């Protein structure tokens, strides 16, 4: 199991019933060019409100984390290893073709790719993150 699978498992596994809705009958929207071809889009039975789950996890963590713009903070809120090595592995999983030595650019790309891949796999994001 990869890091993205761990991320999805933790995020969707922590969703409370009130943070989930029935998915529409149609398939998930296509993923933009940033997200990987290796993460298949599925037609989920339920849709998870990513913002509701993440906001709750940040509050429960007692830390000041900005998951809405930081892949590191998102991983911390989910209890995942957010080390550079793990982020490089995640970037590889998601098809990052840039220079992993440029961690700032990689992190920006990773955050956007993760948001898009979550949406393609049953996550609902606020418009400013979609």
pLDDT in tens, the chain (130 residues): 589 989 988 898 888 888 888 766 544 444 445 544 445 444 456 789 999 999 999 999 999 999 999 999 999 999 999 999 999 999 999 999 999 999 999 999 999 999 999 988 889 999 998 7
Q: What is the token pair recorded at 31?
A: 């993923």
Domain parsing of the chain, residue ranges: 3-124
The span from the CA of 8 to the CA of 13, in Å, is: 8
Q: What pLDDT score was predicted for residue 14?
A: 86
Taking the CA atoms of the chain, what radius of gyration do you get in angstroms?
A: 14
Q: What pLDDT score was predicted for residue 1?
A: 58
Q: What pLDDT score was predicted for residue 42?
A: 47
């Amino acid at each position: 199991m990869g890091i993205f699978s761990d991320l999805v498992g933790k995020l969707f596994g922590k969703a409370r019933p009130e943070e989930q809705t029935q998915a529409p009958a149609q398939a998930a929207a296509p993923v933009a060019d940033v997200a990987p071809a290796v993460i298949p889009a599925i037609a989920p039975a339920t849709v998870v409100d990513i913002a509701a789950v993440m906001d709750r996890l940040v509050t429960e963590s007692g830390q000041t984390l900005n998951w809405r713009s930081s892949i590191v903070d998102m991983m911390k809120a989910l209890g995942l290893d957010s080390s550079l090595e793990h982020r490089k592995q995640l970037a590889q999983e998601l098809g990052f073709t840039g220079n992993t030595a440029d961690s700032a650019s990689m992190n920006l790309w990773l955050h956007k790719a993760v948001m898009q891949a979550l949406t393609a796999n049953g996550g609902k994001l606020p418009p400013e993150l979609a």
